[in-house]
Amino acid sequence: MKFYIKDYPRPQFVRKEWENLNGEWNFAFDDNDEGEEKEYFNNFPINLKINVPFTYETKLSKIEDESVHYIVWYNRKVNINKEQLEEKKIILNFEGSDYKTKVWINGNFIGENVGAYSRFSFDIEKYLLQGENDITIRVEDSLSKDQPRGKQRYKKESFKCWYVQTTGIWKTIWLEWVSKKYLKGVKITPKNDKVKLEIESNLSEIDFERQNYYIETEISFDNKILNRTKQLLDNNYQEIEMNILQDDKVQHIIQKWDMSNPNLYDINYKLYCEEKMIDNVYSYFGIREISIKGDTIYLNNKPLYLKMILDQGYFKESHLTPPNEQSIINDIESVLAFGYNGIRKHQKIEDERFLYWCDVKGVLVWSEMANCYRFNDISLQSFTNEWIKVIKQNYNHPSIITWVPINESWGVPDISTIENEQNFVNSLYYLTKSIDNTRPVISNDGWEHTISDIITIHDYKQDEELLYKEYTDKNMQVLNNQKEYNGKHRLLVNGYKYKGQPVIISEYGGTAIQKEDGWGYGKQVKNEKELIERFKELTEAISNIPYVSGYCYTQLTDVQQEINGLMDESRNYKVEPNIIKNINDNVIHNNK
C-alpha cells in the first residue's frame, strides 16, 4: 500500500511520527506482590533484562522461564525533546498486554487496563519532562478460567491442546505523537450497491463553538486521486457519507476486493482547525460484500466455497508473539502455497500486521475470540468488554469475513441445558450484529449452536467413509438434531432447529505423524505418504457432502505438544505444499 511502513503496529491508521519501544527493558518478577508497596515505579529493582514484546516464558525474551509468575514489572527510559513536549500530545500505545496492566510515568500513576487481546492507549503528556523520562509497567496475570485465555493453559503444566501461558506485554508497545486535537479512530463501511462510503470519525475532545474544525477525506487508487471532500464538523463523533468517485469527472471502474484481485484503495484523513491542518492519518479500505442466501455463502455476489486452514499463531521461540513481521508474511504465503483461500485464526486476536497482509494478499479470515472456561458474572463481563473492543479495532479489514465469539461451548459448558448460557451466546450474536451487520456471526463454533448465520461442525474421524456417512444418511439425523456426532455433541441446542443456513466442517483432520512425544487426533500415520493419503481421502469425503459450503483443516503448524500441523513448529514442511495444493485445487463442489 501507498502508506505502508515496515513494523508499524497499526497499518490501517498510520501517522509518521512514532517510536517503537520494543527491545530491551528492565524486568522483575514480583511473586510476593510487594512492588507497589516498595514503589518500584520510583526505585526499580534492576535484576533482569527482557526483550519486549516477547514474554518471559519464551526464548526470544532472553529469560525463557515457563513456570508461572503472577506479577511482572517492566521499566525503561525514553527521551523527549522540547519541541515534542510543547507542540504535541504523546500517546503510549499497547497492542496487547496480558492481563491487568498498570502504568507509571516518572513515578506518577497514569492508568490501568484489563484485558489480553485488545489494544489500549494512555495519554502521558501531562507527566512527561524534557529529556529523560521513566516508564514503569506492572502486569498481573493468573491461571483463572474467568478471564479470556484462549489456548493458554489454566494449569501449571501444559496438557492436551493447551499450551504455556502468556504473561505480560506480548505485542508491540510504542509512542505516538499527535496534535493537541486529533483523530482517534475511523469506522469505514463501503456500500457496494451505491459506490459510497459510510465514515464514522471519532475525535478527541474539541470545543466546536470556539473554532471551526473540518475533516478532509481523499480517496485514491493506484496513485490516482478519485475524490476529495472537506466537511465542517460539529461533534466528536461525526458521520460522513462520501462517494468513492467525484461525480463523473474521474473515469474509474470500481475495483472489488477478492482472493484473486485483492484491490485496496488508499484513503487519507486530514483534520483542520480553521485553515491549519492539525492531524494527518493514512489508511486504506477494500470494497467487498460477504452475504448469505439460503445455504450458500457469497463473496461479491459470487458463490464462495471455503477452503480454510486452522492457524493458532504460535511460534517455537516466541509462542503467541510473531518473531517479526516477515514471519507473519511467511505463514500467510505458506497458507496460499497449500492451496487454501482462508485462515481460521483460532482462539487468538492476531497482531494487526497479520490482518494487513491478509488484506494485501487476498486471504479470507475468520476472526475468533479467545475464550474463558467458566460461566459466571466475572467471565461474562470480562469477555464481553474485550470482544466489543476487538470488533471495533478490526472492523475495517476487508479480509475478515466472519466473527466467531465462542468455540465448542468453551466458557458456556452447560449451554445444552442452561438457559442463562444460551442467552449469553445469543446476546453475543446480537451484540456483534449491532456493531457490524455486514458480516456473518457464528455464535458457538463446532456444535451446540443456538442462533448462528453459519452452522459449523467439528469432526476428527480419521476414516473417510465414516465421516461421509455421518452427514449423508437418508434422514439427515445430525443436521436435524436427531443424533449426537463426534462422540457426544448435538449440532444444535434443544429448542433450536436447522433453518437452511450454510454448513461448514470447520475442524477436521488433525492427523499426526507418529512420534515418541506429542499427539494428534485419532490414529497417527506412519509417514508422509500415509499423511497425504489420509488428507486426500478426508478432504474429498467432505467435498462430496452435498450441502457443505467448505472446510477447515487442522492445522497449519505444530504447537508445542500438539504435532498435527502440515508444518512443524520451526515451519519446516512435512509435506511438499504443491501436493496439498493439488488436492485442494481439485476439490470441485458441484453438488449445489
Per-residue pLDDT reduced to its tens digit, 179-218: 999 999 999 999 877 788 999 999 998 888 889 999 999 9
537 HSE (CA, 13 A, CB side): 15
Summary mean pLDDT of the chain: 95
| pLDDT score recorded for residue 516 | 67
* Angle at the Cα of 554 from the Cα atoms of 548 and 557, rounded to 5 degrees: 150
Peptide bond into 381 cis (omega under 30): no
Q: CA 56, CA 141: separation in Å to the nearest integer? A: 13
Average pLDDT over residues 109-138: 96
Contact 230, 240 (CB under 8 A): no
Instruction: Reply yes or no on whether the pLDDT at 589 is more than 70.
Output: no
Secondary structure tally for the chain: helices H, strands E = 8, 29
Local structure of 60: helix, strand or coil: helix
- Nine-digit cell string for 355: 490482518
In this prediction, residue 248 has a pLDDT band, given cuts at 50, 70 and 90, of low
| pLDDT score recorded for residue 590 | 52
| pLDDT score recorded for residue 487 | 76
Instruction: Reply yes or no on whether the pLDDT at 591 is more than 60.
Output: no
Grid look-up 482472493 returns 259
| pLDDT score recorded for residue 42 | 96
- Residues 6 or more apart whose CB falls under 8 angstroms from that of 534 comprise 462, 464, 511, 525
| pLDDT score recorded for residue 2 | 83
Contact 507, 500 (CB under 8 A): no
Q: CA 489, CA 454: separation in Å to the nearest integer? A: 17
Grid look-up 461474562 returns 380
| pLDDT score recorded for residue 251 | 77
Peptide bond into 53 cis (omega under 30): yes
**pLDDT, greater one: 239 or 462:** 462
For 135-203, give the DSSP string.
EEEEEE----TTS--TTB-SSSS-BTTBB----EE-S-EEEEEE-SS-EEEEEEEEETTTTEEEEEEEE
For the chain, give the percent of residues with pLDDT over 70: 98
Average pLDDT over residues 444-467: 97
DSSP 8-state assignment for residue 324 = S
What domains, with CATH codes, occur in the chain? Answer: 22-171 (2.60.120.260), 183-285 (2.60.40.10), 300-585 (3.20.20.80)
| pLDDT score recorded for residue 191 | 86
For the chain, give the percent of residues with pLDDT over 90: 89
The Cα-based distances of 395 to 285, 398, 451, 579 in angstroms read 11, 8, 22, 35
| pLDDT tens-digit map of 376-390 | 999 999 999 999 999
Local structure of 57: helix, strand or coil: coil
Contact 139, 99 (CB under 8 A): yes
Q: CA 225, CA 472: separation in Å to the nearest integer? A: 53
Candidates 202, 206, 182, 188; CA nearest to 271 is 182
| pLDDT tens-digit map of 277-288 | 999 999 999 999
| pLDDT tens-digit map of 499-558 | 999 999 999 999 999 886 888 888 899 999 999 999 999 999 999 999 999 999 999 999
Phi/psi of residue 228, nearest 5 degrees: -145, 120
In this prediction, residue 249 has a pLDDT band, given cuts at 50, 70 and 90, of low
In this prediction, residue 253 has a pLDDT band, given cuts at 50, 70 and 90, of confident
- Distance between first and last Cα of the chain: 37
